[in-house]
Amino acid sequence: MPAVQETVDQVRRIDVDQYKFGFETLIESDKAPKGLSEDTIRFISAKKNEPDWMLAWRLEAYRRWLTMREPTWARVNYPKIDYQSYYYYAAPKKKALTSLDEVDPEILRTYEKLGIPLREQEILAGVEKADGTRSRVAVDAVFDSVSVATTFKEELKKAGVIFMPISEAIREHPELVKKYLGSVVPVTDNFFATLNSAVFSDGSFVYVPEGVRCPMELSTYFRINEKNTGQFERTLIIADKGGYVSYLEGCTAPMRDENQLHAAVVELVALENAEIKYSTVQNWYPGDAQGRGGIFNFVTKRGDCRGKNSKISWTQVETGSAITWKYPSCILRGDNSRGEFYSIAISNGHQQVDSGTKMLHLGKNTTSRIISKGIAAGKSNNTYRGRVFAHQKAKGARNFTNCDSLLIGDQCGAHTVPYIEAKNSSTIFEHEATTSKISEDMLFYCRQRGMSAEEATALVVNGFVKDVLQQLPMEFAVEAQKLISISLEGSVG
Amino acid sequence: MTADLRTIKTPAEQALHDAYAEARANLPGKGALAKLREDAFRHFDATGLPHRRIEEWKYTDLRALMRDAKPLAGAPDEAAKARAKNAGSMVAGLDCRRLVFVDGVFAPELSDLSSEQGLTVGSMADALAKGDPLVTAYVGKTIETDDAIVALNTALMGDGIVIRISAGATLRRPILIDFASSIQPSSIFLRSLIVIEKGGKALIVENHDANASQINAALELVVGEGAEVDYVKIARGQTIHVGTLMASVGAQAKFNTFNFTLGGATVRNQNLVRFDGQGTVSGIRGATLLRAKEHADNTLLIDHAAGACESREQFRSVLDGESSGVFQGKIIVRPHAQKTDAKMSSNALLISDDAEADNKPELEIFADDVQCGHGATAGALDENQKFYLMARGIPEKEADALLIQAFVGEVIDMIAHEGVRDALLNAAAEWLAARD
């Protein structure tokens, strides 16, 4: 078997091929004209019943975007993107399946390996029930109760947590959205963020009021309410003074996704004593064995530790996408604030990953920690790119960075590009990086005890990424571990 | 759009443009060499001085730092030569063969040209003018680079040293290449070529002492199979100094370099090293001591083009006042360079609140069976160590000096030659003593 991520390989037929043949299944009324223009943006805004200020905001971003150029500094190669050849508001409608029997058996095998309950598999594979409601199936499957979603909603409401699609928040909580949207990732931040600002489809909005500890992992809730948010996701999470929230984006199981270009923006704001934990598992379609197709993932994620003693923690497991361009960052503005970044980036086949983080120390006694584990297999290239910066006024800034790369096979590349900039003497920055292959001794030890080459590799790799896995919310850590094994299938032996 | 921006030249770029136009006819070298200059100049003219948008020059914005370009240095006068003859340097006491350059021009009358078996020494200007086959074979060909500063050097290269060490020859004494300049600030473009053939052994020290000139020095170093070469470059109190070492290293060689930078308004050392044969052991090291508003940048590009080579990159800097120290190191391991063992470390000690340390250690790895790593730190003196010393009655200033000396001493100690090592340790101690 060629070095392909089996996890997501199965999506090939339904996914990219269908994409290649166009969007014939689209519902006409929901379709904006192909290409990007002010009209497209007006169309999107009108579709979402947005207030005028939001439209003006989008248009301003669009005009700005026209003057910007696509960044080329990342170590990724892809054919030039023709931005006029995409649909910006017409998330392709998925072909409705009526039972699991119609689902590709490959997908089912993967689910089985991940240990996902049967009913949950249905929603992941996009099976629709006769009444056309998908979420209901999931609710049944996962929680065995029709009313769980409502229970959750009520529980959140009781706590005062606002959690809704951002398009709703724009209408219902304009004061919060106006105050925070674009305050961490400015409209003009970078090419992809500006594009997102102009055309963002939907995403989540979370507001945790003062002193509230969000009563549940928002992940769980998110999973059952997952709707097709389209390719330009916009997420805004605010934890007010003393608030705490843990949010999980994505899912360990493969989601079908027909959009090739993704440019998401995630903004986190942590005020005094607040903490936000943001975890991501991304395993979108990485392209076929020859490197054709696959998703381009250009994401801007940034957290702002605005208040004293605030904390933002990013955890990511990246196994999918043909191109990943992603640098979840922390602006450590408040004194004593803390930023964390834990990452596992696995690339196989022809995947190209250029990911890392930025820790900008601006406040006094700010601390940050970066643990990045890159695993390159097949013909992939895996780059860690990070920046740690201490401002002259950031007395006592402290950073520890550890980025390790593992190479599996002799046709892949692993690269490390850290920028470490200290502008005052009380800063202590430590950085270490290693690159090596899996120890023959370890493999031999495992093989000798009767494990197959693949099992042995998976075991060693899981040991390699343990530090990061531990940071994931409990229920996902187990799935992620299996996901890693599956991602690397076909890369050894 | 880039082209549009480039049509506006900074005063320095314009001055360099004019200087080339004027000097062109009189620069040594004809035929292929003249074409090499012409092509290099066209490249420089199109790109201009490197600036912060050029990734390799991110932290040393030469376009902003170089407000003007001084006129090209003329032939040195007697007074300048007399000064050069008597000039002391931090390696003055070294028992060596001294080769002297004054204002970028070789001064044979001040140099030790006594004959030694296996050693040929000459001037680059002569070699270029005569079309010396060694020069035509190597100059501009050792390492491929599109660096604008190297192109500028190639375009305007005046004089420099040409040394050839024959196969199997071991030099009795180290070679010291002493670059002195007159008080009049000028632009100096040095280009040197050192070829050490198979099994040759040599220690070469390049010394640039304080002056007001703008120096662009490039050295092409060809290390043959099994050769053992140590190269030490000292730059003290330079105004603008851009030095590029381009080295290709053969199999089974032992190759060590050391960049010692003691002060200097703007210093940039670029070491471009490529390992062409297997089994080489190499150490690329350096120490930098800066104060006031000084700026020094050590940039490495270590290309493991052949397998089974071991390289150690170690750089340390001590930053006082409002100085800024930069380290950029890139290790490339090519697809077939299996069994590469490369370790890079960069440590910056900030002893003032206004100092700045920028580190960019990069790894670019395309082979799987390798051991590569890098470490980087930036921070102040360890309070515990300081406390330990002070608790034993050592005054604070002395305790600081001891710790700083130990910090840079650790890497200077890696220089094999005792005389050179001691000279650098002393220079570091003097620098510390002068600290207030």
Taking chain A, what is the end-to-end CA distance rounded to the nearest angstrom?
Answer: 10
| Cα–Cα dist A390/B309, whole Å | 36
Q: What is the DSSP letter of A83?
A: G
Q: What is the DSSP letter of A61?
A: H
pLDDT exceeds cutoff 80 at A89: no
- For residue A432, list chain B residues with Cβ-Cβ distance below 8 A: 373-376
* Count, residues in chain B: 436
Q: Is residue A149 domain-resident?
A: no
Per-residue model confidence as pLDDT tens digits over A305-350: 999 999 999 999 888 788 899 999 999 999 999 999 999 998 888 8
Measured between CA atoms, the residue of chain B closest to residue A409 is B368
Query: In 10 A of CB B54, how many CB atoms?
Result: 17
Q: Give the model's confidence band at A114: pLDDT under 50 very low, under 70 low, under 90 confident, else very high.
A: low
Whole-number pLDDT of residue A492: 60
Q: What is the DSSP letter of A81?
A: P
* Residue B105 token pair: 């021009």
Q: Is residue A92 domain-resident?
A: no
Quickly list H helices, B90-156: 124-130, 133-138, 148-156
| Cα–Cα dist B165/B159, whole Å | 19
Q: Can you say whether the dihedral through the CA atoms of A284, A288, A289, A291 is positive or negative? A: negative
| Cα–Cα dist A375/A485, whole Å | 12
| Cα–Cα dist A45/A56, whole Å | 10
In chain A, how many domains are there?
Answer: 1
Q: What is the mean pLDDT of residues A464-473?
A: 84
Which amino acid is present at A258? E
- State how far residue A399 is from chain B, nearest Cα, in angstroms: 10
CB proximity A417 to B under 8 Å: yes
Is residue A103 within 8 A of residue A75, CB to CB? The reply is no
| Cα–Cα dist A213/A208, whole Å | 8
Q: Which residues span the domain enclosing A211?
A: 6-20+161-487
Per-residue model confidence as pLDDT tens digits over A398-416: 999 999 999 888 888 999 9
Sequence spans of domains, chain B: 2-381
Q: Which helix (H) or strand (E) holds B35?
A: helix B32-47
pLDDT exceeds cutoff 50 at A136: no
Q: Do A407 and B350 touch (CB under 8 A)?
A: no
Q: To the nearest whole number, what is the mean pLDDT of chain B? A: 92
pLDDT > 70 fraction of chain B, expressed in percent and rounded: 98
| Cα–Cα dist A307/A296, whole Å | 34
Per-residue model confidence as pLDDT tens digits over B48-90: 999 998 999 999 999 999 989 998 888 888 888 888 887 778 8
Per-residue model confidence as pLDDT tens digits over A159-199: 899 888 888 889 999 999 999 999 999 998 999 999 999 98
Per-residue model confidence as pLDDT tens digits over B346-395: 999 999 989 999 999 999 999 988 999 999 999 999 899 999 999 999 99
| Cα–Cα dist B331/B277, whole Å | 16
Q: Is residue A118 domain-resident?
A: no
Which amino acid is present at B431? W
Measured between CA atoms, the residue of chain A closest to residue B367 is A410
- For residue B355, list chain A residues with Cβ-Cβ distance below 8 A: 424-425
Q: Is residue A134 domain-resident?
A: no
A222: buried, middle or exposed (CB in 10 Å: 19+, 13-18, 0-12)? middle
| Cα–Cα dist A408/A413, whole Å | 9
- For residue B338, list chain A residues with Cβ-Cβ distance below 8 A: 410
Q: Give the model's confidence band at A97: pLDDT under 50 very low, under 70 low, under 90 confident, else very high.
A: low
Q: What is the mean pLDDT of residues A140-159?
A: 54
Which residue matches tokens 């471009």? B272
Query: In 10 A of CB B2, how many CB atoms?
Result: 8
The β-bridge partners of A375 are A346, A406
Query: In 10 A of CB B4, how many CB atoms?
Result: 7
* Residue B259 token pair: 């960049």
Q: Give the model's confidence band at A98: pLDDT under 50 very low, under 70 low, under 90 confident, else very high.
A: low
Measured between CA atoms, the residue of chain B closest to residue A69 is B1
Q: Is residue A440 domain-resident?
A: yes
Mutate to test the interface with A, among B363, B372, B383, B385 (most CBs of A within 10 A): B363
Q: Is residue A458 domain-resident?
A: yes
Q: What is the mean pLDDT of residues A107-130?
A: 54
- State how far residue B282 is from chain A, nearest Cα, in angstroms: 19
pLDDT exceeds cutoff 90 at A484: no
Is residue A473 within 8 A of residue A248, CB to CB? The reply is yes
Whole-number pLDDT of residue B128: 94
Which residue matches tokens 């030490």? B232
Q: Distances from the Cα of A462 to the Cαs of A229, B9, B37, B158, in angstroms? A: 32, 55, 55, 59
Which amino acid is present at A116? I
The β-bridge partners of A359 are A330, A388
Q: Is residue A334 domain-resident?
A: yes
Which amino acid is present at A488? L
CA angle A250, A88, A184 (to 5 degrees): 55
- DSSP secondary structure string, B301-354? EEEE-SSS-EEEEEEEEEE-TT-EEEEEEEEEE-TT-TT-EEEEEEEEEE-STT
